[in-house]
Amino acid sequence: MWIPEDEGYPELLREISLPPEHLFIQGEFSKDETCIAVVGSRKASHYGRTVASHLAEGLADCGFTVVSGLAQGIDSAAHKGALLKGRTVAVLGAGHDHIYPKEHAHLSQEIRNRGGVISEYLYPTTPQSGFFPARNRIISGLSLATIVVEAKDTSGSLITATFALEQGREVFAVPGNIFSENSKGCHDLIKQGAKLVHSIEDILDEFQYLSLSNRQKATSSSVEVSLTLMQQKILSALEAEPIHIDQLAVDLSLPVGVLLSELTQLDLLGLAKANPGGYYIKEVL
């Protein structure tokens, strides 16, 4: 357990207006860790989960510790993405004896093994609705910046963004589908001055003063390939949201057999990905 007077208490968290009086930590966490928060909707789209995982993996590979709230949707995608290349920290809205949601018990153990799980509540404390907005100040307080990936205009992740602004931290937002309610919160943040995230480079540019590992690898193209005109046409029709091969065949006026062969080649090149049920997406590089 840490209190604000302890030497090991996180430096950035000590700076906020209401730092937690107690921090209970499982796993490992250094007061000097360089953290970035990735948060968003619990009911995330495939696009949102893909982006959260991709950004978190890249940030972890550059040496950042990715902070999130262990919730469903964007939070869990960010934790899982970060674990592929580095460290992540989960901030709980209850005591350590009550992981919420329960289905993330295994994920929380993975995070303990490769990062830390933090709570300001005593171990037996059960989840309560008011605890989750309160814990958001810790998520932003531990972090140099908060990235919102998907958010309705009533999303709790906007509370995290507000805390970040009040704490003098950077706020980033990922744009999304203009027809989706999950995009409205992020688009509002961008209109209000949040930095738009199109790629990880948009985030890293704000932290050029830091000595980051693997920055060049994270921001450069990992593969150069030569595509046929047909493959270029197919790839341009794919998006981060899954599309069924039958619909793709209609859109491109191609026989399904020919399309399947070309999609297989794109899959092998790492440019497309087959999902269950005959759905395909463009792979995020």
pLDDT, tens digit, 9 for 90 and up, residues 41-68: 999 998 899 999 999 999 999 999 999 9
Q: Which CATH fold would you assign to the domain 229-282?
A: Arc Repressor Mutant, subunit A (1.10.10)
CA–CA separation, 283 vs 235, rounded Å? Answer: 10
CA–CA separation, 198 vs 281, rounded Å? Answer: 18
Which residues of the chain are under the pLDDT cut of 70? 212-226, 284-285
Residues 6+ apart with CB under 8 A from 56: 38, 66, 68, 77, 78, 79, 80, 81, 82, 88
Domain boundaries for CATH 1.10.10.10 within the chain: 229-282
pLDDT at 216: 52
Chain position carrying tokens 């998006």: 239
pLDDT at 241: 86
pLDDT at 285: 56
Cis ω on the peptide bond leading into residue 101 (within 30° of 0)? yes
pLDDT at 266: 87
Q: Strand 272-275 and strand 279-282: pairing? A: antiparallel
Chain position carrying tokens 């030497």: 7
Domain boundaries for CATH 3.40.50.450 within the chain: 11-219
What is the CATH architecture of 11-219?
A: 3-Layer(aba) Sandwich (3.40)
**Phi and psi dihedrals of 38, rounded to 5?**
-125, 115
CA–CA separation, 160 vs 117, rounded Å? Answer: 18
Chain position carrying tokens 């008011």: 130
Query: Edge-to-edge strand order for the sheet containing 115-119?
Result: 24-27, 115-119, 88-91, 65-68, 35-39, 145-148, 170-173, 195-196
pLDDT at 126: 97
- pTM given for the model: 0.81
CA–CA separation, 246 vs 252, rounded Å? Answer: 10
What SS3 class is residue 279? strand
pLDDT at 222: 40
